[in-house]
Every structure is written in structure tokens, then in C-alpha cells.
Amino acid sequence: GAGVSQSPSNKVTEKGKDVELRCDPISGHTALYWYRQSLGQGLEFLIYFQGNSAPDKSGLPSDRFSAERTGGSVSTLTIQRTQQEDSAVYLCASSLGSYGRASDTQYFGPGTRLTVL
């Protein structure tokens, strides 16, 4: 079946602009996660959704970052007033159940490479 998809695959923007990154999870997966991968910080958790609610937003680095999920499916990560330090690959993952279930593997999408000039 189809895996996790993300769009765009690459995004180049100017400092101060807003960007939206999209994630389409695997059909039927109720849990959705956003991570960020950068050279300096490695792989970092950003936010977790269970259905449409986000019980864990602890990884969002500032209030410029927000995310929503609608219909228990597609999620959008929005970064306002982008800064150069936001440049990274943003990865989305989904899993079948909540993250209380240890057996659930997170399946990752191909990522969006964001470059802020």
C-alpha cells in the first residue's frame, strides 16, 4: 500500500516568509508525528497527533511553529517568519495506534527539505 507522503519535497524561501509543509499519513494510521533533521541537531521530535488532537507539542522550538491535522488524516506544519536556523529536513511519520503502544512502528515519509535564504 501507499506509504507516508510529503509535499513539497523541496522548499526554498526567503527569511521572514511563512511556509506550509504537508503530510499524508498511511491510510488508517491514527498517530502522526513531525520530526526535524538538521546537521547540527540531528533528528528531533516536534509534535505528535492522535486523531486531530495534539497531546504532545513539546518539541516545537518556538511559537513560530504550529501544526494542525484535519479529518484524522492530512497534517500541515506551518512555520511563520522563517529564520535561517529553520533550514532542515522536516520528516513526517505515522503509526497505527497511539504512542502508548510499544509495538507500533513509526513509518517515515520522504521529508521536505526546507532552505531559508
Partner 1 sequence: ELKVEQNPLFLSMQEGKNYTIYCNYSTTSDRLYWYRQDPGKSLESLFVLLSNGAVKQEGRLMASLDTKARLSTLHITAAVHDLSATYFCAVGNKLVFGAGTILRVKS
Site for partner 1 in 73-102 (CB under 8 A): 91, 93, 99-100, 102
Cite the beta strand spans of 16-87 per DSSP E: 19-24, 31-38, 42-50, 53-56, 65-69, 75-79
Amino acid at 93: A
Contact 96, 1 (CB under 8 A): no
- For the bound state, the minimum distance from the C-beta of residue 32 to partner 1, rounded and expressed in Å, comes to 12
Smallest distance from partner 1 to CB 108, Å: 4
Looking at 35, 49, 65, 90, which residue binds partner 1 (CB under 8 A)? 35
* Candidate residues 10, 28, 43, 68; the one interacting with partner 1 per rule CB under 8 A: 43
Which one, 52 or 80, has the nearer CB to partner 1? 52
Contact between 53 and partner 1 (CB under 8 A)? no
Peptide bond just before 25 cis, omega within 30 deg: no
Residue 58 binds partner 1, judged by CB under 8 A: yes
